[in-house]
Amino acid sequence: MSPTNTAVEETEERTVRPFAAFLQEQSGGQLHDELSSRLHELIEAVRETGKAGAIALKIDVKPIAGTDGRTVTVTDTVTAKVPRTERPKSIFFVDDTGNLSRTDPRQPVITGLREVEPTPAPTQLRSAK
């Protein structure tokens, strides 16, 4: 058998390990747990805000120097873009000294105003003929 035929036969017989199995083992299972939690948080935030979000998983695989290349380190990074609810906005006015004020300093103050008591509703209804 030639080296080429052996490589082809090995490739045909090779089985690919499920990615989910790797996720459950990476970092002692912490990667799988983190992804599960972050997905749950993301779904909740998307439902609350009505906005889109995303989770990204980055896996770095590096050979360990001085080995035959079959020993590697695997590092994972999880990033999440979770939609946020918009914080309420407030309106302020800037006064002549540069400070913020809830009332417009240019608006004249009207004095002598008083609160008027509401008039009671009629107790008997009349019909028009």
Contacts of 12 (CB under 8 A, 6+ apart): none
Angle at CA of residue 110, ends 109 and 114, nearest 5°: 130
Specify the pLDDT at position 129.
76
- Listed residue (119, 111, 54) closest to 83, CA to CA: 54
- The phi, psi pair for 92, rounded to 5°, reads -130, 160
Phi and psi angles of residue 74, each rounded to the nearest 5 degrees, phi first = -120, 125
Separation of alpha carbons 32 and 21, rounded Å: 9
State the Cα–Cα distance between residues 1 and 92, nearest whole angstrom. Answer: 84
Do 83 and 51 meet the contact criterion of CB atoms below 8 Å apart? Answer: yes
CA distance 94 to 104: 8
Give me the pLDDT at residue 127, please.
77
pLDDT value at position 128?
Answer: 79
**Residue 45 in tokens:** 């935030």
> In tens digits, what is the pLDDT along the chain, a chain of 129 residues?
555 555 555 557 889 999 999 999 999 999 999 999 999 999 999 999 999 999 999 999 999 999 998 999 999 999 999 999 888 899 999 999 999 999 898 888 888 888 888 888 777 777 777
> 90, 64, 74: which is closest to 31 by C-alpha?
74
Q: What is the pLDDT of residue 6?
A: 56
Can you read off the two tokens belonging to residue 1? 């058998």
pLDDT at 122: 73
